[in-house]
Amino acid sequence: MTDERLSLSLMSLSQGQLTLLSTCPRKFQHTYLDQLGALTKPEQQERLLWGSRFHLLMQQRELGLPIDRLADQDPQFQESLTGLVTAEPTVFEPAIQSDGAFRQSEHRRTVEFRGYLLTVIFDLLILTAAAGRIFDWKTHPQPRDRGALAKDWQTRLYLYVLTETTDLAPEQVSMTYWFVRRRDSQTGKLVPQSLRFDYNQALHDQSRQDLIGLTDQLTAWRLGRVPLPQVEASKGLCLTCPFAVRCQRADDGPDFNPSVFPDLADVQEVIL
């Protein structure tokens, strides 16, 4: 590592940070380097809160702690939990939990990579001498496209870090997403759906090369102390970005009119 690299503070990179860095380096800069906050829409806050509580419910269940109080907060909690356990009994049945395998909820792993700390948190990890299985609970109402998930940095980073931190070969690890709030469009009943991704050496090598490219580019930008590049305006991502004004991209939208201000009665109160 060069002296210039050593002058940079060791930075942790999660799947969310890698995704943002790949999508819009300037937004990554505002969010993580400049540490600028952005307001979250009320409906998004509600979804995030539901997801956070469901993950806590699953963690307490795994630890053998009482979950009745959490499950009673929302009928969908118990419905989602029951649907998940019914759909994946081999993961939750007692026999599996006592077969000597290592298993842990909210399991954190970190690997140092070219001056960065690649950090992941598995919703549930089950390890044996022959296999490593990652499980992730998704609380989106509808499952994401399989092709998009395969390219998502969460899938790629989680499988990469697990392989790098165990003696398992890439072909021995897998990751399964469970969409716990999916409802059947005809019956309206909650029917969780899973998507499993198996790993291999070719995917591992490709992820390593892409990580080298991203981290080396980020290091060069940090050493250069210049504003990180903006995403192309033609992609339309600036229209919903909270930093559009700061990036002087707010007027790229067809409905933007700098001379029109909202009525004060329509502005939501911000509690400090």
The token pair that represents 257 in the structure block: 């009119």
**What confidence category does residue 4 fall into, taking pLDDT thresholds of 50, 70 and 90?**
low
Q: Which CATH architecture has domain 3-224?
A: Alpha-Beta Complex (3.90)
CB 134 within 8 A of CB 174: yes
pLDDT band at 270 (very low <50, low <70, confident <90, very high): very low
Location of structure tokens 């990554």: 28
On whether the CB atoms of residues 190 and 182 are closer than 8 A, the answer is: yes
- Residue 79 has what pLDDT? 86
Is the predicted pLDDT of residue 222 greater than 80, yes or no?
A: yes
More reliable by pLDDT, 172 or 251? 172
Please give the angle made by the CA atoms of 231, 237 and 242, to the nearest 5 degrees. 100
Note the pLDDT of residue 97: 52
CA distances 39 to 89, 258, 270, Å, are 40, 21, 10
Alpha-carbon distance values, 243 to 37, 80, 227 (Å): 10, 35, 14
SS (H, E, C) 246-266: CCCCHHHCCCCCCCCCCCHHH
Return the percentage of the chain with pLDDT > 70, whole number. 85
pLDDT at 249: 87
Compute the mean pLDDT over every residue in the chain, rounded to the nearest whole number.
84
74-109 residue pLDDT tens: 888 888 888 888 888 878 765 455 556 899 999 999
**β-bridge pairing 11-13 and 132-138:** unpaired
Rounded-to-integer distance, Cα 79 and Cα 156, Å: 30
pLDDT digits 0-9 by tens, 208-220: 999 999 999 999 9
**pLDDT score, position 7:** 57
Q: Please indicate whether residue 40 or residue 85 has the higher confidence score (pLDDT).
A: 85
- What's the average model confidence in pLDDT over 175-204? 88
Whole-number pLDDT of residue 121: 97
Is-contact 175 197, C-beta < 8 A?
yes
Distance of CA 114 to the CA centre of its chain: 22
Confidence of residue 6 (pLDDT cuts 50, 70, 90): low
Higher pLDDT: 250 or 147? It is 147
Residue 153 has pLDDT above 90, yes or no: yes
Single-letter residue type at 132: G
Q: What is the pLDDT of residue 3?
A: 52
Q: With a cut of 80, say whether residue 61 has pLDDT above it.
A: yes
Give the per-residue pLDDT at 68.
85
The answer, yes or no, to whether residue 145 has pLDDT greater than 80, is yes
pLDDT at 189 over 80: no
Residue 160 · residue 211 · CB < 8 Å: yes
Cβ atoms within 10 Å of 188's Cβ, excluding its own: 8
Position 263 scores a pLDDT of: 36
Of 145, 135, 158, whose CA–CA distance to 84 is shortest?
Answer: 135
Taking the domains of the chain in order of start, what are their residue ranges? 3-224
Transcribe 63-117 into DSSP letters.
Answer: TT---HHHHTT-HHHHHHHHHHHHH-HHHHSHHHHTSS-EEEEEEEEEEEETTEE
Total-model pTM? 0.84
